[in-house]
Structure 1
Amino acid sequence: MANRPLQLTLNGQSVGPVEVPDDLPMIDYLHEYRNLTGSRLGCGQGICHACVVIVDNPDGTSEEVRTCITGAHFFEGKKVRTIEGHAHCDESGKVTELTPIQQKFVDKFAFQCSYCAPGFVNAATVLVEKLQRQPIVKSQLEAVIEDSLGHHICRCTGYVRYYSATRDVLLDLDLVKEG
């Protein structure tokens, strides 16, 4: 199996170059090379979305990418955020503040078994960032939430709480306009 160097920005830190097998999935790179195990291997087929990370594009947009079906080398030179990169931490690494999405998910007890939680946090974060650039009208709110979170699978059926928490954050951050 051939190796080649991989270099990327991961949670704000430059990483690499490090020799990585050509066919290594990103989820395995995160777990085995970086000890970032928050992204979960659920289905292994790109269906459940428990494994998604956020890629920050050069144009300022962000998007979810499934790491179980995407090779690590796809991320060469990209800016990637994992679930571990969301909360604010002090110098020692201790969490000092959760993001609004994380906090609202906790407040609403959206996390049940929490296996799918990293994917939902990343999806809701991408939605918040999208709406910060282009707010929506209230009549579109439910459809936009469904479009953003609907492809994530929760085996504990925590959808109601995830959707409710996301709705509350969007309204709290004034990303939804009357009309």
Structure 2
Amino acid sequence: MSASPIRTRPLALDINGRRHGPVDVPEDMMLVDVLHEYLGLTGTRFGCGQGVCRACTVIVDDEHGPREVRSCITGAHYFNGKRIRTVEGHAERDDTGRLKALSPVQQAFLDHFSFQCGYCTPGFVNAATVLLERLAKRPIAHSEVERTITEALDPHLCRCTGYVRYYRAVKQLVLETPGLVRDTEAARKPREGTP
């Protein structure tokens, strides 16, 4: 009895602004495995393998996006022809690949010592990036900031319990980035009659 051959199909991806493929990839392979095994992009983490912890989150930019997609439970071929961002694509680099500057989210996490082991950090970076990009298009009221950040970050799990620091970093970034909150200036000014 012979084993059946692994069925493959061509896969072409646009990752972090760079075209990859087409390359023959097994039909049932998840994107996280393609990133690691075929493309050498190991920043996206394989955590629970069930899409619960969200360490494997990538950003998809399409007519619905930007949006988060869990790469450990989503087949690679779903992403065929799509534009994807991984954690490696956020920082600014020079022509030689050397780091020039971290993204605002990455810098905020570093400034707030948001992570301990760092395993969940790529997922949190992508979640916060999607949140900031959405707020740039549709600013929210100051009264909605805490709820909005909580909804964006709550699905992500941190085994070192760094939630408070992640949250604080994102909150500061949201409040200090012009155009994300509609009434930030009004919220900062004391009301008449208050000391």
TM-score computed with the length of structure 1 as normaliser: 0.97
State the partner residue of 2:36: 31
For residue 176 of structure 1, the aligned residue among 171, 181, 189 is 181
Q: Is structure 2 residue 86 aligned with structure 1 residue 86? A: no
Structure 1 residue 43 and structure 2 residue 48: aligned? yes
Corresponding position of 2:150: 146
The residue number in structure 2 matching 1:108 is 112
Equivalent residue for 2:69?
Answer: 65
Which residue is 1:165 aligned to? 169
Is there any run of 5+ residues in structure 1 with no aligned partner, and where?
Answer: none
Amino acid in structure 2 at the alignment position of 1:48: C
RMSD: 1.0
| 4+ aligned runs moved over 6 Å, structure 1 | none
- Structure 2: runs of 5+ lacking an equivalent: 1-5, 188-195
Q: Distance in 2 between matches of 1:103 and 1:132?
A: 18
How far off its partner does 1:58 sit?
3.4
Residue 93 of structure 1: SS of its match in structure 2? coil
Deviation at 1:29, TM superposition (A): 0.2
Cα distance in structure 1, aligned partners of 2:52 and 2:63? 27
Q: 2: distance between equivalents of 1:48 and 1:176?
A: 29
Deviation, 1:8, is: 1.5
Amino acid at match of 2:96: S
Give the aligned partner of residue 117 of structure 1.
Answer: 121
Deviation at 1:177, TM superposition (A): 2.2
TM-score (normalizing by structure 2): 0.89
Shift of 1:172: 1.2
TM-superposed CA distance for 1:14, in Å, is 1.0
Amino acid in the other structure paired with 1:165:
A
Look up the equivalent residue of 1:28 and give its one-letter code. Answer: D
Residue of structure 2 aligned with 1:7, choices 6, 12, 17: 12
Q: C-alpha separation between the residues in 2 aligned to 1:128 and 1:17?
A: 32
Deviation of the 1:111 alpha carbon = 1.7
The amino acid across from 1:130 in the alignment is: R
Match of 2:136 in 1: 132
Structure 1 letter corresponding to 2:41:
L
Deviations along 1:87-145, one digit per CA (max 9) or x if unpaired, are 00011111101111100100001121000000000000000000000000011011100
In terms of Rg, which structure is larger?
Answer: 2
Deviation for aligned residue 1:22: 0.1
Over residues 30-55 of structure 1, what are the superposed CA-to-partner deviations in whole Å (9 max), with x where a residue is unaligned? 00000000011110000000000000
Corresponding pairs, count:
178
**Distance (Å, rounded) in 1 between the aligned partners of 2:123 and 2:133:** 15
Amino acid in the other structure paired with 1:96: K
Residue 77 of structure 1 pairs with residue 88 of structure 2: no
